[in-house]
Structure 1
Amino acid sequence: MSNKNTVGLIGLIAIVFSSMIGSGIFSIPQNMAEQASIGAVGLAWLITGIGMLLLVQTFKILAEHKPHLNSGIFSYAKAGFGEYIGFHSAWGYWLMTCMGNVALAVMINDSLGLFFPALLNHGIETVILCSALLWGMNAIALRGTGSSSFINIISTIMKLAGLVIIIGIVLYSFDSDMLSVDVWGVENDLGPVVDQIQSTMMVTLWCFVGIEGAVVLSGRARKKSDVGKATLIGFLVAITMYTLISVLSFGILPQSELAQLSNPSAASLLEAAIGPHGRLLVNICVLISVFGALVAWTMLVAEVPYEAGKVGEFPKFFARTNKNEAPVMALNVSTSFMQVCVLMVVMFENVYLAAINIASVIVLPCYLLSCLYLLKISINYKELGLKTRNNGYVILSGIAALFCLWLITAAGLEYQLLATILYATGIPFFRYTHASRIKAGEMIYSKSDKWIELILILLALVSVYLLFTGQLQA
């Protein structure tokens, strides 16, 4: 691979940061305050920070000890648990990235709605704009990873500058005395603190989807050692900004008022702090931020099927590249699928918004499998190239796995069931991709894989039945 199509440390950090900091940070004041007090919000970020730091360390350790597994996050699932689990990890992650990209395009549409109100109707204007954005990103990505990375670095610098200005205004305007008002939500009857914390988990999870961005692009990293560094640095910068904006907002407006703000709630927050110019500033920052995130996620959305095609988890044509070494088929197929999703936004907007919440649930098994893989090879320490067992690795990966399981539980049964439908849609594609190997008698399925497939199909059928009978709401 030519040097111009590889990504250095700064580029990898920008990808991690841009993947995590999209439009969500501008809605975080209302999202976190909707059902939680400042005390619960502070604890939620502390728990999330510790849990995600463990996940970051998991990716860092795997990147250092298993640098040859550079096909993306799903390669850990495949190495640890076989072809079938590896495929579903790739399939789920790819669906999540596609949904996330369309969401970012729609958010740009809605931010521009401040200047062009017709876009807020989500009609033909939205279809044209979102389609132009997605195919425009496709054209940029086709120029090669180096070009996309450079554009992402520039947009990340602009995004970072805008967020620093916003945080500076919030710091200047907030009243520290307000932070001690109804700390645990007793006066507003928000319920037990544990329930308040759990109510924020889906919000904090979606904030950090993208933390694995450097891992996904590790096959294009200039230095494999940069992957772990980029993941850690990007995470620390992102969580600092998320925490500052969500906690300090309680010093400008009380919880009850924050919970009622329209999104992007940071715009309403700055309007309360400095007037109408605050709203305009935030909307401009949203456009810059989401554009940067869209560049980063376009790189990720194509890399997953490209790498999966290279190792035979997806059809081989996904591994085709153009003269710029860009994954041309993976990009075109992914963008075509996203084009269909754009039409769904216009036709069935409520269904699509529910699917975005499901997307955050879909990515959790990918994270969980990475933690379990590290736990597995830490116990069998020779697989890590160690002479003795590193108990720190065992404890770290075990707690990180429990954290992922807790997040899956916090998502609720409704989203868990709906996610099984999307995972089950991958089964025919798995059989098509591996048909020749299955016919040749290769042991593609283990006994446990067959049970997992059967359970997945049954849960998906039950979910479809409940969905169509109205007992499960999309």
Structure 2
Amino acid sequence: MASASKPYFSVWTLMAMVVGSMVGAGIFSLPQAFGRVTGPFGALIAWSIAGTGMLMLAFVFQTLSRRKPDLDTGIYAYAKAGFGNYLGFLSALGYWSAACLGNVSYFVLIKSTLGLFFPVFGDGNTIIAIFFSSVLLWIFHTLILRGVRGAAAVNTVVTFAKIIPILLFIVFVVGGFHADIFATNFWGGEDVSFNNVANQVRATMLVTVFVFVGIEGASVYSRYARNRNDVGVATLVGFLGVLCLLALVTILSYGVMLRPDLAALRNPSMAGVLEAVVGPWGAIFVSLGLLISVLGAYLSWVLLAAEILFSASRYETMPQFLSHENRNGVPSNALWLTNIVVQTFLILTLFTQYAFRLALELTSSMILIPYLLVAAYGFKLAWTGETYDRDPSGHRTDLARAGIALIYTAGLIYAAGANHLLLSAVIYGPGSILYIIARRERSKALFSPIELAMFAVAVFGAAVAIYAIAAGLTPV
């Protein structure tokens, strides 16, 4: 259980958790990621869809924080309350895995950025790069073990520090914007058709998911909130601010370079865009901003990852050892397991050519099930009228918002495709051993008949995915 002297977070600290979690590696890679697959028109549609869908999901988090204040661990607790123990576990496992993979992508991008100036780091997946990433990993580990309050305070300072370079990037790119280049890029190709644009938009969906991951940051840490209403406010305001930054960075870049040139940029591609506007110092400026941003985002995500394991263990869905807290009130065993897994994934990046892209896609894939379950629980709550008998205000609005969020998250799973779902099964299937351990520790039945069927699907999917990887049928 949480210690009696646990820290309490203000609305500003909770907002910093949302912004700090969302603004990390992804925003610095948007020009290249979007340039590979679409032009400004497709990008505008993509951000409109993603912005609307994620805004509705933010509203769901806001509604649930108000109507279910007893569920103080957000994304995991909602899935368990709505759909049972095993789906609650899968939500926790998926979210935790996404956090671990996201942290790997941060380390890869840090070293790839340094590779612009020190070739020994390459694209972030050389032996030297992995060594220095590992050193950083365990330095942060030691910092967090000293206390969540101190780590959250550092995150708040870093969050404000990393927004400044992004705002300056936008100002400089507005000054260097060329309407003729933007017009040339507008349709994203010579074939202007509905199918072509639709395919372009679909290709951006996993990218948009990746940059929005973290929207639930305040919800996960709701047990630390001074006021439960602060959780919803922090989620909504943080999301809207980050959405504006994401859309501006993407769209304005099309007015600086032709789309093929954007697609050819190495990451962080924002550095290449700014260099085209102001000269070589622009790449250095963006690179420094990225280092601050990614280190801050990593701090947010390792906190969130440890918190979700701790909370799931506290509610008897993860093994008991993960509920241990040290004398500083830090879930230390959960933190150790998280960073050991991140270290393992870092080593595995030595064996893949496109380490950052793979980490990005896997992070997005793993977060889809947890997001779907949150949207589904919000819809279920409004549909059944639970909690609305004593407070009917906003019932129809909440139902509509949750319905749109549910359609959006289901559409994301479709857009991800079978390949990414199979890759996520590699974690969901074997990872279920943690659930089995937790149930046996507490002498509880393992699965209901429906849960057993879901477990069988997860194991079968994992077997198929492992075979496909071994046979070279699935790119890794």
> What pairs up with 1:280-299 in 2 under 5 angstroms?
280-299=284-303
**Aligned counterpart for 2:93 among listed residues 80, 91, 94:** 91
Distance 1:451 1:75 in 2: 22
TM-fit CA distance, 1:411: 0.8
| Aligned-partner residue type, residue 114 of structure 1 | L
Q: Tell me, yes or no, if structure 1 residue 20 matches structure 2 residue 25.
A: no
Partner residue, 1:185: 188
1:351-381 per-residue CA deviation (whole Å, 9 max, x = no partner) reads 7853541221111110110111111111121
**Aligned counterpart for 1:363 among listed residues 341, 360, 367:** 367
1:307-326 per-residue CA deviation (whole Å, 9 max, x = no partner) reads 11111111112111122111
Q: Tell me, yes or no, if structure 1 residue 269 matches structure 2 residue 276.
A: no
| Aligned-partner residue type, residue 406 of structure 1 | G
Q: Secondary structure at the match of 1:396?
A: helix
**Aligned counterpart for 1:415 among listed residues 398, 420, 426:** 420
Moved more, 424-433 or 383-392: 383-392
Q: Which runs of 5+ in 1 are unaligned?
A: none
Distance 2:160 2:217 in 1: 17
Pair 1:348–1:178, CA change in 2 (3 A): closer
Pair 1:292–1:355, CA change in 2 (3 A): closer
Q: Secondary structure at the match of 1:192?
A: helix
**Aligned counterpart for 1:47 among listed residues 46, 49, 63:** 49
Q: TM-score, normalised by structure 1?
A: 0.94
> What pairs up with 1:327-338 in 2 under 5 angstroms?
327-338=331-342
1:70–1:219 CA contact under 8 A, matched in 2: yes
Partner residue, 2:142: 139
1:162–1:285 CA contact under 8 A, matched in 2: yes
**Aligned counterpart for 1:199 among listed residues 199, 203, 213:** 203
Pair 1:447–1:71, CA change in 2 (3 A): same
1:303–1:330 CA contact under 8 A, matched in 2: yes
Partner residue, 1:429: 434
**Aligned counterpart for 2:223 among listed residues 205, 219, 223:** 219
Q: Secondary structure at the match of 2:432?
A: helix
Q: Secondary structure at the match of 2:254?
A: helix
Moved more, 142-151 or 189-198: 189-198
TM-fit CA distance, 1:436: 4.3
Partner residue, 1:381: 385
Q: Tell me, yes or no, if structure 1 residue 117 matches structure 2 residue 119.
A: yes
**Aligned counterpart for 1:345 among listed residues 349, 353, 357:** 349
Pair 1:10–1:473, CA change in 2 (3 A): same
Partner residue, 2:236: 232
2:275–2:281 CA contact under 8 A, matched in 1: yes
Aligned residues: 471
Q: Secondary structure at the match of 1:417?
A: helix
TM-fit CA distance, 1:347: 4.1
1:17–1:238 CA contact under 8 A, matched in 2: yes
Distance 2:238 2:391 in 1: 32
| Aligned-partner residue type, residue 365 of structure 1 | I
Distance 2:240 2:253 in 1: 20
| Aligned-partner residue type, residue 90 of structure 1 | A
Q: Tell me, yes or no, if structure 1 residue 254 matches structure 2 residue 258.
A: yes
| Aligned-partner residue type, residue 158 of structure 2 | S
TM-fit CA distance, 1:185: 3.1
TM-fit CA distance, 1:157: 1.2
Q: Tell me, yes or no, if structure 1 residue 402 matches structure 2 residue 404.
A: no
TM-fit CA distance, 1:14: 1.0
Q: Secondary structure at the match of 1:71?
A: coil
2:89–2:435 CA contact under 8 A, matched in 1: yes
What is the alpha-carbon root mean square deviation over aligned residues?
2.0
Partner residue, 2:72: 70
2:302–2:338 CA contact under 8 A, matched in 1: no
**Aligned counterpart for 1:309 among listed residues 307, 313, 328:** 313
TM-fit CA distance, 1:187: 2.5
TM-fit CA distance, 1:462: 2.2
Pair 1:231–1:134, CA change in 2 (3 A): same
Pair 1:276–1:433, CA change in 2 (3 A): same
Distance 2:326 2:445 in 1: 34
Distance 2:351 2:33 in 1: 26
1:29–1:265 CA contact under 8 A, matched in 2: yes
Q: Percent identity?
A: 34
Pair 1:141–1:384, CA change in 2 (3 A): farther
Moved more, 216-225 or 229-238: 216-225
Distance 1:308 1:4 in 2: 18
1:270-291 per-residue CA deviation (whole Å, 9 max, x = no partner) reads 1111111111111111111111
Pair 1:249–1:50, CA change in 2 (3 A): same
| Aligned-partner residue type, residue 419 of structure 1 | S
Distance 2:181 2:390 in 1: 52
Distance 1:171 1:365 in 2: 38
Distance 1:108 1:2 in 2: 38
TM-fit CA distance, 1:255: 2.0
2:109–2:356 CA contact under 8 A, matched in 1: no
2:440–2:446 CA contact under 8 A, matched in 1: no
2:207–2:361 CA contact under 8 A, matched in 1: no
2:317–2:438 CA contact under 8 A, matched in 1: yes
TM-fit CA distance, 1:36: 0.7
TM-fit CA distance, 1:38: 0.9
TM-fit CA distance, 1:349: 5.3
